[in-house]
Structure formats: structure tokens, C-alpha cells
Chains A and B, each alone.
Chain A
């Protein structure tokens, strides 16, 4: 090796190490700063925040909205346009996506289908609330009644008279053309379902009487933000009514409705949606494993695995009002017979779910030892400590890991060579000793190696190729011997708490955090700690804060640079 070659390798090594270390250091700095802050009342950030946003409904939000408005009997066939992940969250991506031509055609077909179901013979008596005098001619009174009611629910605010009149007129024209009252009404309803006011959550700002010259979100926009944050669906009638009466503009009125929503069983839907987003569960749909290596893998196992993790989370955070950090160490979960085969545990219930607690001997504790995490972050035929380590860093600690440099020679680490190492740890040691790779692998691999007692599907094992698996490692100065220790390290890491608070606020706001909001987030994190890391409390603080509803005015978006390092665009 020449001196020049050595210098090139050294340069790459330093560069990659620097990139990784810098990003991790930055995230740790944010975390440590946050916990050193003294708790104090939330700073006034009136007039800061982001601009009014326009966010496309996710598939789940669309489906749940239709179910809430028209009933679960209404079928919603077919796929949707995929959501886009930005800065680590689909929720942020919803502010940046539009509707493609193909996507609009899909929405149009769905709208016609849904409207036809609402007005068909089976459902019209239950859903329409009035009967036209003649089923072949227009009936303005009945049509107005129906469209006024559903227009308010679908568009999440009352229709203005001109808009309502236009819809009624459309229904009448189509009734005359088709000679069928319900077909005409269906046409107008379909129009409401493809309107931007339904497909997008559109913020409307109004002058803020308490701060002349500034703006605030209007009551209906607040209602939508609250409902989609806490219930992941459209506002209910009570919330829209409260918005109409201006109750959401007062601290006490807002707090009362937030408390109502936090104590509703529907909070579970909101929390599930948040963690599905944070844990990138949309990818579970496309996970595949080699059936010859993992014959126990199936689509139904993965569906149950996703549900298991979401049940674990909502049970711990809502039903038990538990400490968020305990999700990294908890042995409580839920089990189906389908999952029991992979976990190799007995399940008494022949159908459905039953609570389950792993014993200390099972070697499982924390979300990262569940199949949803272990199987999701790995290739089809084996486990990957690197991908698992990266997932922990990025998803649970909000630390960005750069992509590998383009000139990596992967053949050096392949297991198929004659002198192939016995275990994954042996192969990854080669990574960490190569200066080009070491910078990033040193922050990922020790985490992932602690999870090596679980194969690519998440089944427990103690050996690999006949050698006992070494699960010891170190996370940011915290050394451990096994995955239980890793869980403790994650539990004690300031980064995991900071990550949750950061994600929760970005999920709520649908955008990256602005620099001006940094102080607010630090306070929020402190408050979260002082209240025992309880998620409902964190959601309450966000949902009742001025910051959540603040609207930046004019001058573009200069304060809107992303603070988080998570998820490069």
C-alpha cells in the first residue's frame, strides 16, 4: 500500500467518522442541553411556529373519517397513493405531498363509490335523514339538509352559503339529467369527497385579537389539529360545535376539550398512528423473508407482530399510564397463537389476543426485542446488526446515520468466502477495523450485536454457526452484556426521551421544528421528565399550548430550518 493510498483511506475514514460523530454529537448535545434546562413555564412564542399548513389525509385518516361520518358499513375499496416520509415522519411528509393525476382519479373513484353507498337503498334511510317528495325529481329542501350536514363533517367546518348552494345546484342538475334524485345527490356528495377541503387538512388563520398585527389559527383549524393529533380522525360533532362557539380560543375551553379527548377510548387510535409513523410500520406491509430459511414467516405473522407492538405501546402508555422509557425494558406484551410459534411460547387463547409476560430467562425485554422491530430491520435471509443498530439510532434516538461511502468493497465482508468469519460479529469487526467504515459502524453495530440472539425473523437463538453469540456492547458510554442491558441503556439515554418529545411535536405540527421553537421543546422535554415521562401528559401540554396553534406571519419561512438531524430528505 502506497503512502498516497493510505492517505486516501485515512481521509475517507476521517470524513465518515466525522460525519457520524458530528451528527451523533449534535443530537447528544441537544439532548443533554434539554435535560439541563430548569423547568419553567412555557415561553411565549406567539407569532412563531410555522405557516398555516395544508396536509393531505393519510390512508388511515381517510378511512377513519369516512367510518366516523357515514359508519363502518361503508366499504372503502382499493389502495391509496403512498405517503411520503420527510425528516423521519410521514406526518411531516403530509405537508409536502400533492395529489397526482393518477391519485386524483383514484380519489374520484373512491368518492363516487362511497357516495353511491351512502345513497343506496340499504343505507339512505339511516344516513340521509330525509326523504324527497319524488324520487325522480329534485328536492332542494332535502338536498340542502343532507349536504349541509355532511358538508360540515367532511370539510371539517360549516359550508359557506355560496358553496352549499353550488352543491345543491349540482345535485339538482344531475337529478334532472339522470331522472333519479339519489343519483343526483350522490353526484354532489362525491364532489364534496374530492374537494381539497376534505382531502387536505387546510389551516385557516385569522387575526389574533390578543396580539394585534398577528394571526392565529381559527377554531375549526384548531379542532382539526386536535382531532387528528389525538384521535387520528376528523373532528366529531362536539368538537366542531365547540369550535363554532369559540370555545377552543380560550384556555379553559381548549383544556376541557383536550381532556375530553385524552380520556376517550379513541386516544388509542391517535397514539397508534403516532407510533406507527415513528417506527416506520408502513414498511411492514412489504417485509419479505426467505421461506426456506424462515419457514415460520408469513404475512399474518407480520400483521400480528405490528399489532403486538402497538398493543404493547398503548397498553403501557395509556392503560397503565406508564413511563415511556420503560418501553425499552418492559416484558409485558400481548400474544396470539400465530406469534407464539415464532416466540416459542404457549398461548392459551385459540382466537385473538391474550396478555403475556416474558420471563427473565426468555431473553426478551423492550420493543426492540419484538418481531416487528427485529424482522423489519434486516434483509430477507439473515439478521443485520448494522440495520438494527441504525434503526435504534434513527427511529428511537433521532440520530441520523449517514449512508455508506460509495467506494466500500463489500466483498471483504461477505460470509461466502472460504475464510468467512463464523459469526456476524466477526464480520462486523472487519468493518470496524476498516477506517473507511469504522466511523459509522462503531455507532450502529454494538447496538445491533446486542440483538443477535434473535435471527432475521426474530426467533431466539444462542449460537450462530455453532459459536455462542456474544451480545455485549456499549451505547454512548453505557456498557452492557446483553439485550436487557441495551434496554437499560436506552431507557437511561437522554436521546430517547428527546427523540420522543421532538417526534411528538413534529408529528402534531406536521413540519420540522423551527429554531424559534427550540426553547419550547426544551421546556416540553423538562416537563415530560418532571411528570414521569407520561405520554398523555406530553400530549396535553402540546395540545393546550400556544405554540401548537401559533402561526408565523409573512416573510417566508426563515425560522423554519430543521433542527432535527433525523431523516435527511
Chain B
């Protein structure tokens, strides 16, 4: 309900940021339960990026193309969609001959993008179904993947888009993994820091009730000379309530799993896409293995809000980057909307979020909350 109200109130992604604060107040599931008792484990994420297996048959039609029809931009869409471009920008940009494709992808015709049709992907079975014909409530019809570990019904529609873009793939012949490297550099340069905290741990192997917090921090993540995350750093949790998220969970055989919850975090793509934007994932679930040396690895899977994921990955790209990295913004915009599989708009029935899976690598850290509240890792040696 709140989603639809917000959606109608906030409109398209272009004005989304103006409504972000309201969205937090109305949408974010800020759990106000009392702090659980028990031990706490804090972590800083040393790696946080899409989990992608890069199978040979991911994109049978080939990778997405950057320049269909040559270097000319796609044609402007008809008058109806062009109206989405603010008049003052329309006038100015027309004067120089071009409207920014990535900032205003709706203003252009929708070139068809080659997207993934593979069989295997990372992720979780978010909707509980294993067949494309079986459409779960609050989802849209979509094909399923088989998990890398054989799990049926894995939902990861964003991989069908990103997995067919040259610059996202590790096995591409040109610009391979460049996006991941940008993200990694941004994290290593201290531009973006993400924290996790598991509280209320009574039994580190099996515990029926724990709470997991996801936070952003303005302190840099520390890395050693080998680019490994430095454990046991003290990092202050951002006091921005937008980036404070808590979900319920449990520990099963040393693996933390959480119930679905919405997560909003600071995101920074790197110097090529220079603005901080929010990562907003809905119905997010964590599967985190706790290791004896204090580190943790796992997956965060859920539904990335379409406006959020487009903002994160594409909206800021200057004209040269799509050409170099292997995509066209209007085509990507069309593809993520076409493949979206979660949180349908009650009015239009079109899904507003797309299933996604992130790979997480974390090292122990001391999370410093405001008002000097301290919570820390166990002091067991990590070496």
C-alpha cells in the first residue's frame, strides 16, 4: 500500500531523489524492537558486488551491443514520451543537438537488448516457485535459473541484463570486469563502506533468533597491501537513518539466514559515475557463513528497485562509457523493466523491482554506533 502511494506520489525515477526521505519514512521497515541480548558480531564488507557465474551459454544471442546502426543515438521517441524530459533541459539539450540518453532513457525509442537466456546463476529462490508458469503473488512472470549449487527456481533476472554486458563479464575480450574493478576501487579508496552486525547471538552455531543490521559508514574500509580487508577496525555507523536497516534472522549450522526485509544503503560506483546514490533492495535475504577465523562470506539476494538499480549502474554514465562498455542506456532501461519480476505496481501490474544476487565477503569489525554505543566482535584470534 505504502509502495503504491509513494509510486504515484513520486512518479518516475527522475524525481525519485526528492521523495527519498519520504520513502524512508514510509517504506523502510525500521524495526523498533528492543535490542536483543547475547553476543554481537560486527563486520565490514571487503567485497560486495553482483554474484555472477559467467557461464558460456549465458547469452546465446551474443552480448549486448553498444552501437546499433552506427554511432548515432537512437531516435527520440514520440511526443508522448519526450514530455518526460524537463522543458528547460529539453530546450538546452536540443540546442546542442542531443538529449542525454542515460539520464533520460525514456525519451528515446526502445532498442531491443540482447539479454541472458542461460540456465545457471547465483541467487536464491525468492518467490518459492520453480516453474515459469507458476507465478507467485507479488511477482511477475519470469524464467527461473538453477542455482550454481543445483538449487531449483533461483531468481536472478538482473543477471540476464548485466550478464550480457561486456564490461560486467570476467570473460569478455574487451573491458572485462571493468565495472567490478571500479566498484572494488571505490570501496578500497574509502568512497563507500558497508557494515553488517549480527546481534543477539546466544549460540554461534545454532540460534533461533538473531537480528542483522546493515549500515553504511563514512569511515573508509581498510585494506592491506594485498588488497585484503583489514579485520578489527573500528568504524562508525552513519547517523543517516536512510542507511540503517535491521532484519530478523537465525543461525543454522553456523550460517546466518534472514527473513525478507528492505535494505537501503549508500552506493558509489566509482569515479566514472561520480555521484553517491542509494542501493535499495526489497525483500532482501542474507545467507552468511560465519568462519572460524572471524571472517564471513555469503550472498545477499532480493529485488533491486528498478529506479535504484538504473541510477546505480547507468544513469550517471557520460556518453562515452556506454559505447566503451557495451550497452545503450535506453536499451538497458527497457530490458530491466521488461525482465522485472517483483513488487508489481497495483495500478499498472508492471513489476517495479528485479531479482538480484550479491556476493559478500566480510572481515570482523567493531561497529561504533552514535552516542558512543559500542558493539564488537568476539576477541578470538583471526589468525
Contact = CB atoms under 8 A, between A and B. Distances in A.
Interface of A: 291, 295-296, 337, 340-342, 344-348, 350, 361-362, 455, 459-463
Given A296-B224, A340-B233, A341-B233, A350 B219 contact: yes
B234 A348 contact: yes
B224 to A, nearest CB: 4
The 4 A-B residue pairs with the shortest CB-CB distance in the complex, in nearest-first order: A346-B366, A295-B224, A347-B234, A344-B232
Nearest to A359: B379
27 contacts: A291-B224, A291-B225, A295-B226, A295-B230, A296-B224, A296-B230, A337-B233, A340-B232, A340-B233, A340-B234, A341-B222, A341-B231, A341-B233, A346-B368, A346-B376, A347-B366, A347-B368, A348-B234, A348-B372, A348-B374, A350-B219, A361-B379, A455-B383, A460-B379, A461-B381, A462-B381, A463-B381
A301 to B, nearest CB: 11
B228 interface: yes
Interface in B81-135: none
Given A341-B230, A346-B374, A461 B379 contact: no
A361 B378 CA distance: 12
B234 A337 contact: yes
A346 B375 CA distance: 8
A368 B143 CA distance: 64
Nearest to B372: A348
B294 to A, nearest CB: 10
B236 interface: yes
Interface string B357-383: 000000000101000101111010101
A362 B236 contact: no
A58 B377 CA distance: 44
B242 to A, nearest CB: 20
B379 A346 contact: no
Contacts of A296: 224, 230
Contacts of A342: 232
Nearest to A337: B234
A362 B226 CA distance: 29
- Most central of B230, B234, B374, B377 by chain A CB within 10 Å: B234
A340 B366 contact: yes
Given A296-B224, A340-B234, A345 B383 contact: no
Contacts of A346: 234, 366, 368, 374-376
Nearest to B366: A346
Contacts of B224: 291, 295-296
- Most central of A342, A345, A346, A455 by chain B CB within 10 Å: A346
Nearest to B369: A348
Nearest to A297: B224
Contacts of B225: 291, 295
B232 A341 contact: yes
Contacts of B230: 295-296, 341
A345 B366 contact: yes
A459 B383 contact: yes
Given A295-B225, A295-B228, A350-B219, A344 B379 contact: yes
- Most central of A347, A362, A459 by chain B CB within 10 Å: A347
A29 to B, nearest CB: 43
A interface SS class: loop
Contacts of B372: 348
Contacts of A337: 233-234
A295 B377 CA distance: 20
A346 B383 CA distance: 18
Nearest to B381: A461
Nearest to B367: A346
B348 to A, nearest CB: 46
A344 to B, nearest CB: 4
Nearest to B375: A346
A341 B377 CA distance: 12
A68 B150 CA distance: 74
A347 B374 CA distance: 8
A253 to B, nearest CB: 49
Contacts of A291: 224-225
Nearest to A293: B383
A459 B383 CA distance: 10
A350 B225 CA distance: 22
Contacts of A350: 219, 236
Contacts of A460: 379, 381
Contacts of B236: 348, 350
Contacts of A462: 381
Contacts of A463: 381
Contacts of A362: 379
A459 B232 CA distance: 11
Nearest to B371: A348
Nearest to B294: A344
A461 B383 contact: yes
Contacts of B379: 344, 361-362, 460
Nearest to A455: B383
Contacts of A345: 366, 376
Contacts of B366: 340, 345-347
Nearest to B230: A341
A262 to B, nearest CB: 35
A225 to B, nearest CB: 44
B317 to A, nearest CB: 33
B300 to A, nearest CB: 25
Nearest to B370: A348
A291 B228 CA distance: 13
A364 to B, nearest CB: 11
Nearest to B234: A347
Nearest to A344: B232
A281 B57 CA distance: 63
A455 B379 CA distance: 15
Interface in B204-231: 219, 222, 224-226, 228, 230-231
A365 to B, nearest CB: 16
Given A337-B233, A459-B381, 15 more contacts: A295-B224, A295-B230, A296-B230, A345-B366, A345-B376, A346-B234, A346-B368, A347-B366, A347-B368, A348-B234, A348-B374, A350-B236, A361-B379, A459-B383, A460-B381
Contacts of A455: 383
A384 B377 CA distance: 29
A415 to B, nearest CB: 17
Contacts of A344: 232, 377, 379
A369 to B, nearest CB: 15
Contacts of B368: 346-348
Interface in B229-252: 230-234, 236
A340 B234 CA distance: 7
A348 B234 CA distance: 7
A431 B374 CA distance: 46
Contacts of B232: 340-342, 344
A468 B381 CA distance: 13
A41 B224 CA distance: 59
Contacts of A295: 224-226, 228, 230
A296 B228 CA distance: 11
A256 B196 CA distance: 59
A460 B382 CA distance: 10
Nearest to B218: A350
Nearest to A291: B225
A296 B368 CA distance: 20
A374 B377 CA distance: 24
A527 B27 CA distance: 72
A363 to B, nearest CB: 9
A295 B361 CA distance: 19
A345 B234 CA distance: 8
Contacts of B374: 346, 348
Nearest to A459: B383
Contacts of A361: 379
A371 to B, nearest CB: 14
- Most central of A340, A342, A462 by chain B CB within 10 Å: A340
A300 to B, nearest CB: 12
A296 B224 CA distance: 7
B137 to A, nearest CB: 44
